[in-house]
Amino acid sequence: MDYDYVIIGSGFGGSVSALRLSEKGYKVLVVEKGKWFKAKDFPKSNWNFKKWLWVPYLRFFGIMKLSVFKHIAIISGTGVGGGSLVYANTLPTPKSAFFKSGSWNELNDWEKELKPYYTLALRMLGAAKNPKLFDGDLGLKKMAENLNIQGKFSPTRVAIFFGKPNQKQKDPYFGGKGPNRSGCTFCGACMTGCRHNAKNTLDKNYLYLAQANGAEIMAENEVYDVRPIRNSNGSQGYEVLLKSSTKIFSRHQKIKTKGVIFSGGVLGTVKLLLKLKNKSLPNLSEKLGEDIRSNNETLVSVTGLEKEKNYSKGIAIGSILDTDENSHLEICRYGEGSDAWKLAHLPYVTGSNVISRLFKILLKFLKHPGEYFKIYFVNGWAKNTVVLLFMQTLDSTLKFKRNALGQMTSSISTGKAPTPFIPESIQLVKAYRKAINGVSTSFALETLAGIPSTAHILGGAVMGKDATTGVIDKNNKVFGYEQLYVIDGAMISANPGVNPSLTITAIAEHAMDQIVMKNELS
């Protein structure tokens, strides 16, 4: 065998697996389809589409991918470190309801079981409270006061190093075993990649330490097949087939391994497993592709009209407001100059009928031409704009299937179709607009097609007590196969209602704790 474990994807699930398996003495290879990025490789603004976006057909090999389905548009991360390169660093813990619902309910007392792993995940990711609030956050605070819920406002807990701005410092987290770091400058550019070495991306913690333990990382390669060797259940190991994801003409490689960990994120893992169920891994559960969830998010931008304010100052998500038992609102920003999103934005209108929405958009342009002229042509979009990220714990699920052309498609599974027009969110947009004297716009796909967008796609290979109720068991092992695991957002089996990376990290730590040391194998 070439390796004990091949890990497909280097996001949160993959990075935790790489470190813990290498610590247990296993020979590990991580295959990642995106690129390696050093601090200065990240784009200065999102106008640099080649470095910001992942669109291989156009030769764009950046850190963010946009995938549009009939019921949902998904943004996700690509590169060594997965979604941590592009994410907004926010690390909330879900409320109790998450641990007591969904297909994993009854497999464990999850809240109690995962508690120590959340603590470990927070330490490993270098979680700290945001120490400074800026204009966008102060707007949220003012809105909370206007609504009389100021007690529900708080700065976020984030994976950022708040040392001295731009000053190099020896590893502050791992007793000198980690890389040197620099303090955050509050430039707001976390979602185009941190050029200041302050964001605690996975290549600076889990992956860095895994490499030091001997784990190998192969970037710019995509796994397209996983075949059991001899026996049909993988007990003799697997052949993993991969090819370059960035070269036009590429050599295909075959690697032999005892075990495989699928950590390609929901879009990578579910897409690959749906393909393999038809071919190399037919024993996979029929539940594959089901229980796909978002956090029931809406993303609406509000552009302030007061010239002296700078909404791009701060960290990507600096503050949070719990607006009711099931919902909360976060303030997101891009760094100054990252104005490209405005190309995809239209005036924010709501309603179930597309004709009436189009009419409302036209009316807005006619009634307030000066305001929209300012938004699109005069002021820096990022400098003047915050993105309101609204999330809910209330649940509805989608199903992903593979069509005859091999494309992944969505359909509604349970509950109502996800919508960008959630009544609570509409009220909060109004309240924020009032608090900062702003104008709201939103992603054209939401306004025109009524398709909501999410950065938090979850599920598709969820936990169950057996293959009739889930794809994996409570320790993340795939039903029907030996030494095969799913450890990433696809394993999330209920709606956390909050940003999920901390939870993915904690569950990955839990799964890894169930694997014995190599020298204890019988």
Ligand X SMILES: Cc1cc2nc3c(=O)[nH]c(=O)nc-3n(C[C@H](O)[C@H](O)[C@H](O)COP(=O)(O)OP(=O)(O)OC[C@H]3O[C@@H](n4cnc5c(N)ncnc54)[C@H](O)[C@@H]3O)c2cc1C
51: contact with ligand SF4 by CB under 6 A: no
160: contact with ligand SF4 by CB under 6 A: yes
Among residues 6, 29, 86, 484, the one that binds ligand X under rule CB under 6 A: 86
Chain positions 206 to 235 lying near ligand SF4, rule: CB under 6 A, are: none
Among residues 75, 217, 273, 331, the one that binds ligand X under rule CB under 6 A: 75
Q: What is the 3-state secondary structure (H, E, C) of 398-454?
A: EEEEECCCCCEEEEEEECCCCCCCCHHHHHHHHHHHHHHCEEEEEEHHHHHHCCCEE
- The β-bridge partners of 260 are 6, 484
Among residues 89, 419, 476, 493, the one that binds ligand X under rule CB under 6 A: 89
Among residues 187, 223, 340, 388, the one that binds ligand X under rule CB under 6 A: 223
In the complex, least distance from residue 130 CB atom to ligand SF4, rounded to whole angstroms: 10
178: contact with ligand X by CB under 6 A: no
Q: Which stretch binds ligand SF4 (CB under 6 A): 21-29, 192-200, 203-211, 470-478?
A: 192-200
For 418-450, give one letter per residue: b (16+ CB within 10 A) or e.
bbbbbebbbebbebbbebbebbbbbbebbbeeb
Provide the 3-class DSSP secondary structure of residue 314.
strand
Q: What is the DSSP string of 273-287?
A: HHHHHTTT-TTS-TT
For residue 248, the number of C-alpha atoms closer than 13 Å in the C-beta half-sphere is 3
- The β-bridge partners of 454 are 74
Number of residues that bind ligand SF4 (CB under 6 A): 14
CA 258, CA 1: separation in Å to the nearest integer?
Answer: 7
Provide the 3-class DSSP secondary structure of residue 263.
coil
In the complex, least distance from residue 166 CB atom to ligand SF4, rounded to whole angstroms: 8
Among residues 222, 291, 297, 446, the one that binds ligand X under rule CB under 6 A: 222
In the complex, least distance from residue 195 CB atom to ligand SF4, rounded to whole angstroms: 7
In the complex, least distance from residue 237 CB atom to ligand X, rounded to whole angstroms: 19
Provide the 3-class DSSP secondary structure of residue 96.
helix
| Residues identified as active-site | 456
127: contact with ligand SF4 by CB under 6 A: no
* Exposed / middle / buried, residue 327 (Cβ in 10 Å: 0-12, 13-18, 19+): buried
Contacts with ligand SF4, residue ranges (CB under 6 A): 160, 184-190, 194, 196, 198-199, 315-316
Contacts with ligand X, residue ranges (CB under 6 A): 8-13, 31-34, 64, 75-79, 82-83, 86-90, 191, 222-223, 263-265, 268, 272, 317, 455-456, 488-489, 499-502, 504
